[in-house]
Amino acid sequence: MKLSELKTGEHGIIVKVHGHGGFRKRIVEMGFIKGKNVEVLLNAPLQDPVKYKIMGYEVSLRRQEADMIEVVEEHEIEQQRPTIKVALVGNPNCGKTSLFNFASGAHGRVGNYSGVTVDASEAHASFFDYEFQLIDLPGTYSLSCYSPEELYVRKHLTDEMPDVVINVIDASNLERNLYLTTQLLDMDLRMVCALNMYDEFERRGDSINLNTLSTLFGTPMIPTSFKKGTGVNELFKTVIQVYEDTHEHARHIHINYGHEIEHGIRHIQQHLREDETLDHAHYSTRYLAVKLLERDKDIERFISTLPNADEVLEARNMAAERVKEETKDDSETAVMDAKYGFIQGALREARFTLGQQKDTYRMTHFIDDVLSNKYLGYPFFFLILFVMFQTTFSLGQYPMDWIEAGVEWLGEWVGSSLSEGPLRSMLVDGIIGGVGAVIVFLPQILILYFFISLMEDSGYMARAAFIMDKLMHKMGLHGKSFIPLIMGFGCNVPAIMGTRTIESRRSRLITMLIVPFMSCSARLPIYIMIVGTFFAAEYQSWVMFSLYVIGVIVAIIVSKIFSTFVIKGEDTPFVMELPPYRWPTGKAIARHTWDKGKEYLRKMGGVILVASIIVWALGYFGPSGIAPSMEDSFIGVMGRGVEPLFQLQGFNWRLDVSLIAGVGAKEIVASTIGVLGGLEEISPLAAYCYLLFVLLYFPCIATIAAIKNETGSWRWAIFAACYTTVLAWVVSAVVYQVGSLLL
């Protein structure tokens, strides 16, 4: 309950004061501290401000300020278990999501490339009789506004105001990681730094005085290793102490940016403080002043909404000009240089030394000499992909046969147990036939995601982006575009969201438009069903591989066309961290693989089940009741209506209907074929053209919605739906007609 919600004459016990910086300090100094009884005495004539009694004296607060104070009634105080809202912030690959998973048991995603966490994940944990609400924010190198991740993290910190921030730092890259820490210090947040992978830090022989470093940064520095769980209890104990304002190292410090910059900051702050409309609970004026000197476009837009915006921006311009005159650098560069100067000075003061016992990157360099080699890099990459598909198909065939036999037995048992009629037909032909036709591919889905998780968690996926950058550039894309494209082999939706890591809007948009050509796992059941039916065992892996290669080739051609003729704009430099190779734990790989398996099974019990029943009903009933044959049913009428559209591809009406059903979700294509049949009526050439159509046409509704959300426009989403379908029709028709002439 907020203090502002108490009525005149009511009492409350303060349990938490939100906000930060000067605002929170002023409120606390007035006596509004945890455990104190506060009484509402009087509301002003316009209901604002409100007079309160606390610690024996009377004080008035505006309702806006009272909103930041959390209270409970006196009889509830003993039942109240404190909840601390904690935001996890850090560079990509620092282990932030590993902490989230270890502390909460939640299944967050871990990946060794920027942008794997594209949205905030939330979970709860309990330590030392405190509840923790954990928010795992996207990995980001800074709090500028160059990428959606940076803007997302910054807005969360200012809008949601977590009680404590855990800044996760890769101990093997202290100087680079601490740059983000300096930006968090500017925001005046209560913070604890977790020096993760500290075991590697010590094993390498590095050393540092953590007490000195904690004092200089004004925030506790806790050594941890989330992979092993080392230091997690100490970390959360420290979070509690920082939250309770009892930790010796927790204090607000100002980074000294030098005489001229500091003079400019104070001048800008003076104008900001004069504006009574500025929400000081959410924004530190010093932070705003620093960001204005950095020419931060998002902060400039925010300041432009203030009544005295012109005065503030004029003060910034004057300060920036003076910095330029003194330092010969623009103010943004001067601020960045000062931050790194502060970091370097702090590390020297804390006696930071690099050891010589073990080079963390030695094995990484050895592996890179092979996997990222100028001549061997591409062959190894395509070999890895081929092995992935070969294993998925061959190894997965055994459990697939077992599941298929089980589904067949279940269908026969249900069929023999019930008398002829709609119920029996729905259960056997609709539910078991439809869902069973898709669930048999669960083993292949698990194997495919095992390989993808292995590549992501080991660090190889980042190398794939590295070796593909030049090719991506020739396509008119950024090297980082390769990561969402590879993610598209798993699912197109997170791949579309993963384009947020691409700073260039042009490259981001083109990448979103070609991601649907990456064969997602939802298409895999269709591929396996058709390939296993029409092609001999020795050719099956090659046919499968060809579909993935064709998808990539089409994506290359389309992206080149878009970048040359359709979507113009500037690209950004290719800057991307290449983390050391790490062998992922079996537990992590198993969890990621099974998470995808659970998603697949949930679809079986949801959209696939409903779709199978609908397809069965449309095939069982017709305009005159129960249809004597499939051709006389509703779905038969529908199929014959669209059949002329696909004559050039050699499809029959049953396949036409399955393609229409696949608009909702690609798995429905396989379940529709399972219900309707129709494969026996087509040739291997038509079957391959059908696979090409499935590969290229309309991505599922969820993918179209993701494109709309990421672009902010239905225009691009509808364009993606239309152009992919037209392309699929043209390619499949040309291949069938040319193939018919040659065969």
3-state secondary structure 600-618: HHHHHHCHHHHHHHHHHHH
Phi, then psi, of 305 in degrees rounded to 5:
-85, -10
pLDDT tens-digit map of 534-586: 888 778 888 888 888 898 889 888 888 887 877 765 555 545 556 667 777 67
587 compared with 141, residue with greater pLDDT: 141
**Residue 359, pLDDT above cutoff 60:** no
Model confidence pLDDT, tens digit, residues 227-249:
777 888 999 999 999 888 888 88
The type of residue at 542 is: W
Q: Examine the pLDDT at 272 and tell me if it is beyond 60.
A: yes
Q: Give the helix, strand, coil percentages of the chain, each rounded to 5.
A: 60, 10, 30
Burial 600-624 (b: 16+ CB within 10 A, else e): beebbeebbbebbbbbbbbbbbbee
Residues 6+ apart with CB under 8 A from 646: 655, 656, 659
Greater model confidence, 319 or 80: 319
Structure tokens at 303: 């300041």
Tokens for 78, please give them: 């003993």
Cα 197 from Cα 95, distance rounded (Å): 8
Q: Give residue-wise pLDDT tens across range 514-541.
A: 888 888 877 888 888 888 888 887 788 8
What's the confidence (pLDDT) of residue 111?
Answer: 45
Return the minimum-mean-pLDDT range out of 89-103, 428-442, 707-721.
428-442
Could you read off the pLDDT of 604-658 as tens digits, one per residue?
Answer: 666 667 777 777 787 778 887 787 776 778 877 888 888 888 889 888 888 888 8
Q: With bands split at pLDDT 50, 70 and 90, how would you rate the model's confidence at 365?
A: confident
Residue 281 has a pLDDT of 66
pTM for this prediction: 0.63
Question: What integer pLDDT is reported at residue 620 of this predicted model?
Answer: 79
| DSSP per position, 678-698 | -GGGS-HHHHHHHHHHHHHS-
Can you point out the beta strands (E) in 179-220? 191-196
Confirm if 194 and 167 have CB atoms less than 8 A apart.
yes
What is the C-alpha to C-alpha distance for residues 48 and 35, in angstroms, rounded to an integer? 25
Q: What is the pLDDT of residue 210?
A: 92
Tokens of 630: 């499939």
Helices (H), 535-623: 537-561, 586-605, 607-620
Residue 76: which pLDDT band, with cuts at 50, 70 and 90? Answer: low
**Do residues 492 and 703 make contact, with C-beta atoms less than 8 angstroms apart?**
yes
d(CA 588, CA 635): 45
**Chain centroid offset of residue 624 CA:** 50
pLDDT at 5 over 50: yes
Give the pLDDT band (50/70/90) at residue 88: very high
Which tokens hold the place of 350?
A: 């804390």
Distant-in-sequence, close-in-space partners of 585: CB < 8 Å, separation ≥ 6: 227
Q: What pLDDT was estimated at residue 113?
A: 41
| Among candidate residues 86, 182, 191, the one with its CA nearest the CA of residue 136 | 86
Mean confidence (pLDDT) of the chain: 80
Q: Report d(CA 157, CA 284) in Å as an integer.
A: 12
User: What length is written for the chain?
Assistant: 743
How much is the pLDDT for 8?
85
Contact 90, 180 (CB under 8 A): yes
Greatest CA span in the chain, whole angstroms? 97
Q: 702 vs 116, 120, 451, 513, CA distance in Å?
A: 19, 19, 24, 14
Q: State pLDDT tens for residues 479-496.
A: 667 767 777 776 777 677
Q: Which two tokens stand for residue 200?
A: 């590697």
Q: What residues contact residue 422 under an 8 Å CB cut-off, 6+ apart?
A: 620, 626
Q: Are 37 and 11 in contact (CB under 8 A)?
A: yes
SS3 621: strand
A 10 A CB-CB count for 149 gives 22
- The span from the CA of 583 to the CA of 455, in Å, is 10
Name the phi and psi angles at 237, rounded to 5.
-60, -40
Q: Which of 420, 418, 432, 422 is nearest to 626 (CA)?
A: 422
Q: List CB contacts of 265: < 8 A, sequence separation 6 or more.
A: 257, 286, 289, 290, 293, 319
Tell me the C-alpha distance between 440 and 526, whole Å: 11
* CA–CA gap between residue 314 and residue 630 (Å, rounded): 76
Instruction: State whether residue 161 is helix, strand or coil.
Output: coil
For 122, the enclosing helix (H) or strand (E) is strand 121-127
Contact yes or no for 167/90 (Cβ under 8 A): yes
Residue 197 and residue 203: Cα distance in Å, rounded?
10
Is residue 447 helix, strand or coil? helix
| Amino acid occupying residue 490 | G
Place 117 in a pLDDT band, splitting at 50, 70 and 90.
very low
Query: Taking 50 as the threshold, does the pLDDT of residue 184 lie above it?
Result: yes
Amino acid in the structure at residue 611: A
Q: Which residues 6+ apart lie within 8 Å of 341 measured at CB?
A: none
Would you say residue 114 has pLDDT above 50? no
Per-position DSSP letters for 459-518, written without gaps between them: THHHHHHHHHHHHHHHTT--GGGHHHHHHTTT-HHHHHHHGGG---HHHHHHHHHHGGGS
* Cα–Cα distance measured from residue 125 to residue 86, given in angstroms and rounded to the nearest whole number: 10
271, pLDDT greater than 70: yes
d(C-alpha 346, C-alpha 130), whole Å: 33
First to last CA, the chain: 76
What's residue 688's pLDDT?
A: 92
